A = this chain, B = another copy of it.
Amino acid sequence: MHAALQHEPLTRSGEDYLKAIYRLSPAGRTASTSEIAHRLELSPASVSGMVKRLSEQGLLEHVPYKGVQLTADGRRAALRMLRRHRLIEAYLVAFLGYTWDTVHEEAERLEHAVSDKLVERMAAVLGNPAVDPHGDPIPTPEGDIHEPASIPLSEVPAGARVEIRRVEEGQPERLRYIASVGLRPGVHIRVLDRQPFQGPITIEVAGRTHVIGNELGQVVRCASEQE
């Protein structure tokens, strides 16, 4: 009953737009032209143009001057790209000596060039992982995704013990610093102290104490230890 209209194949650009819009509009919220432009490092005018084209292809719902949302088809396409991106990252780290701070750039290009077949082969030799090297969940081939609840480290109350779940990719140097502190998905830490007004956060990682800025605390997401 659905999916009767097959879309013309997406371009590289179109794929990146849909991914960006997915990340910018969680839970049915709306993404703005300037947010998209900022994320993709393009002018707002260029985004207006592409948004119009993707809407005509049935991938976006666009209310002029208001914002953009993915349609069911657009969401499907976005999740397909997310699966590719994250599996490629996982593969490069597992088999080709990449580290989590260098995979993103490579995956950003490869995600557009691999076939479905290659993606699924990589998934198979990896043992169908649930998350990528940054802790981001990998959608299924059918387009389902399970985003476990998590809160930024900067919002964890002092005294709590938590597990690191996800670290925002995209800035290699920041990732390298975060790794040097020992903060990686799966690591258990304790928050010793948190100063008000975006103040520094004191944590204990593997028996050692570190003080990190609030900005870093916002890109490291955690969950309580149970579960």
Residues in A lying within 8 Å of B, measured CB to CB: 92, 95-98, 105-106, 109-110, 112-115, 117-118, 121-122, 125
Contacts and interface: CB of A to CB of B under 8 A. Distances in A.
A115 to B, nearest CB: 6
Nearest to A118: B106
Dominant SS among interface residues on chain A: helix
The 10 closest A-B pairs by CB, nearest first: A113-B113, A109-B113, A96-B121, A110-B113, A106-B115, A97-B121, A106-B118, A112-B113, A96-B118, A96-B125
A117 B98 CA distance: 10
10 contacts: A92-B118, A96-B118, A96-B121, A97-B121, A105-B115, A106-B115, A106-B117, A106-B118, A109-B114, A110-B113
Contacts of A98: 121
B96 A122 contact: yes
A98 B122 CA distance: 12
